[in-house]
Structure 1
């Protein structure tokens, strides 16, 4: 009796549900380069200049910016595209969460911020998730909070990333439901 079975001749996994999978000897790399390029073309940003960060330093978005409103349908479509891309690109998830708050009444300034995210994607097309082959199973977590970062309601946003060894395995970003008040007295 043999315990072996014959595999089909389909070959190595290279694409799965829009994800590009590169199986290398020292690990696996998962990306969405083709999807990102197609998204840039769809939103007419394929020829834009790249930027090094998804949002400008110190950028604070507000519900009312006194700029003209824009098409909600296009804005929401861009947000949806970003959310799908964050499956392999947690590097700009915070920016996506920030701009997604304004889907009900997006204004020109919000759209300019979305264009910056697209410019960032243009410069980082080959980013993705790297899972090296090793035996390091140390669990690490990094957490950050922007303490009352929302200018509209003073609520905080927190984010966390979780690594198993050198591999990112989970990430989280959430605007808090309530406001924390200090109990310190002067």
Structure 2
């Protein structure tokens, strides 16, 4: 992958990248910044056998921003023993803080599909949020604290077919949609 002004282009064939870069420079007035390593908080590591995209610097940044840098780590992003439901009896939470946290975590799902279910489950409660929902978000941060360097690996040898598998209901976890 190569970053040219505001364009990112890539190929599994380095010669094609070089030719395309030259063509673009000949046709338009632009400069090449070189191989892509960092873009919009996405870290890109290009190796001989593939490309690894991660956001571990962003993970550290949001852990620090929301004061979760010193939390104990968790092995999963969701606590299966405590279902996330509408909890009318619990205390209210600062709506602006919660929404800011959810926005930050949603951006992180670009390279972290492992937290997608947990983040979007918490996002459902942005109107009727309570302390139990903030605790669920804290669990996601605890998981990120223990696994900050996960990301997406695109192997150079494999055909470019994006195939993803996820347990979208997190092992049969049922949440009453009407409770939102």
Same topology, TM > 0.5:
yes
1:96 aligns with 2:100: no
2:139 to 111, 116, 136: 116
Counterparts of 2:85 and 2:168 in 1: how far apart (Å)? 18
Runs (5+) with no aligned partner, structure 2: 1-17, 26-30
Counterparts of 2:139 and 2:33 in 1: how far apart (Å)? 40
CA distance change for structure 1 residues 48 and 154 in 2, over 3 Å: closer, same or farther? closer
Displacement of 1:151: 2.9
Equivalent residues of 1:89, 1:129 under 8 A apart: yes
2:38 to 15, 24, 27: 15
Instruction: Please identify which structure carries the higher helix content.
Output: 2
Tell me: higher relative CO, structure 1 or 2? Use CA pairs within 8 A at least 6 residues apart. Answer: 2
Displacement of 1:11: 3.1
1:83 to 86, 102, 106: 106
User: How many residues were matched structurally?
Assistant: 153
Equivalent residues of 1:36, 1:121 under 8 A apart: yes
SS in 2 for 1:44: coil
Counterparts of 1:19 and 1:140 in 2: how far apart (Å)? 20
Scaled by the length of structure 1, the TM-score of the pair is: 0.72
CA RMSD for the aligned pairs? 2.7
Instruction: Please identify which structure carries the higher strand content.
Output: 1
Displacement of 1:143: 6.3
CA distance change for structure 1 residues 90 and 139 in 2, over 3 Å: closer, same or farther? closer
Superposition map of 1:30-179 within 5 A: 30-136=53-159, 140=163, 142=165, 144=167, 146=169, 149-151=174-176, 153=178
Displacement of 1:50: 0.9
CA distance change for structure 1 residues 142 and 23 in 2, over 3 Å: closer, same or farther? closer
Scaled by the length of structure 2, the TM-score of the pair is: 0.74
Displacement of 1:40: 0.3
Equivalent residues of 1:55, 1:113 under 8 A apart: yes
Deviations along 1:137-186, one digit per CA (max 9) or x if unpaired, are 5675646564792235289xxxxxxxxxxxxxxxxxxxxxxxxxxxxxxx
